[in-house]
Amino acid sequence: MKSLVVMEGSFLTKMLILMVLLLATFTTLALGEGYGRGKKGTQVGFYRATCPKVEFIVQSAVRSAVKANPTIAPGILRMFFHDCFVKGCDASILINGASTEKSAGPNSLLRGFEVIDAAKSRLEATCPGVVSCADILALAARDSVVLTGGRSWQVPLGRRDGLVSRASDTASLPAFNDPISVQIKKFADKGLNTQDLVTLVGGHTIGTAACGVFSYRLYNFNNTNGPDPDINPAFLPQLRALCPNGGDGSRRVDLDTGSVDRFGNSFYENLRKGRGVIESDAKLWSDRRTQKFVQGFLGSGGQPALRFNYEFGRAMVKMGNTEVKTGRQGEIRRVCTATN
């Protein structure tokens, strides 16, 4: 009888271990589309053995920069977005040159390049020739969100740096006046769906836009000699005061009124109220294809905010694996501003 009890106990123990292993397997598979292992060779913990301090070093560089200048956070976030939308997330946006992506109009106002360079310099001193600039940028984008109040996520790593950077390729970037159909198409071309579109544009909860990008909406929208009807009439005088007709086009205006330095879901509430600053953002509420996803993020605190933070991390991981270069498809640059 005693041996039977021992056998039964052993059997139950083995079954328990098996169940734990199966649960771990299913969890890993589930994370593959979200916060864990990425696609095409990227994975969480890629540098665990070769450069274990990589995340600490990048975060330290970003934290110092954002503390000195909060506008660096949205700058780095946009930089990652603009990099991924042009031939994939390969740090091609960091390369200097007269005809590179960095020199193109859509990228002319980006900021934070020096932060990526600083992180790269520290990493080269710690583990030379190991960490790609593309991975540094992916980590820095995540850290920029976290440092402004957003939720963290695991970043799959293992990207290689691209060898080509052309200003002409930036035509694929979403534009400030793109209709919803064009926005959906540009995101779909990168393997991102309409929900991803609405989620990722939520990154506009931090940062600003120049008056020159949207002032046409305030005075002569579509040659009507009047404002864009999507603008709340009560919000219009505020925008006109900030951007007078014929005034300084370089003046900056908060994309998410009241939340320029704080990451959260208030951006969507402003869209619902007709307080979207740039035209492509405002259209997310006026078009039924995107409005339903905006509605899912509406509300103050609680579940809507949690839902947005979770979905934003998931969408960033998905975008971060766009056309990723691994293995012999790229290189590990010595400096981020030039190919080897």
Closest by CA to 178, choosing from 166, 189, 163, 164, is 189
Judge whether 143 is annotated as a binding position. no
Please tell me whether 248 is known to bind a ligand. no
CB 129 within 8 A of CB 332: yes
Burial class (CB in 10 A: 0-12, 13-18, 19+), 300: exposed
Alpha carbon separation from 143 to 22, 108, 192, 293, 308 (Å, rounded): 32, 23, 22, 25, 17
Q: Is 123 in the active site?
A: no
Is 224 known as a binding-site position? no
Q: Is 277 within 8 Å of 208 (Cβ atoms)? A: no
Is residue 92 part of an annotated ligand binding site? Answer: yes
> What is the Cα gyration radius of the chain?
23
Any binding-site annotation on 204? Answer: yes
205 is in an annotated binding site: yes
Q: Is 88 part of any known ligand binding site? A: yes
Q: Which residue has the tokens 């091609």?
A: 92
CB 144 within 8 A of CB 81: no
Four-point Cα dihedral 36, 34, 66, 252, nearest 10? 160
Among 144, 78, 88, 120, smallest CA distance to 338 is for 120
**What are the structure tokens assigned to 99, written together?**
């005809």
Question: Cα separation of 170 and 101, whole Å?
Answer: 7
* Contact criterion met (CB below 8 Å) for 115 and 68: no
- Which one of the listed residues 54, 75, 78, 82 is annotated catalytic? 82
Cα 179 to the center of its chain, rounded Å: 21
According to the annotation, is 254 in a ligand binding site? no
Q: What is the DSSP string of 161-223?
A: B-S---GGGGGGS--TT--HHHHHHHHHTTT--HHHHHHHHGGGGS-EEEHHHHTHHHH-GGG
Q: Is 174 annotated as a binding residue?
A: yes
Q: Are 204 and 256 in contact (CB under 8 A)?
A: yes
269 is in an annotated binding site: no
Taking the mean position of all CA atoms in its chain, how far away is CA 189?
17
Give catalytic residue positions: 82
Binding-site annotation: residue ranges for heme b: 204
Binding-site annotation: residue ranges for Ca(2+): 83, 86, 88, 90, 92, 101, 205, 256
Binding-site annotation: residue ranges for substrate: 174
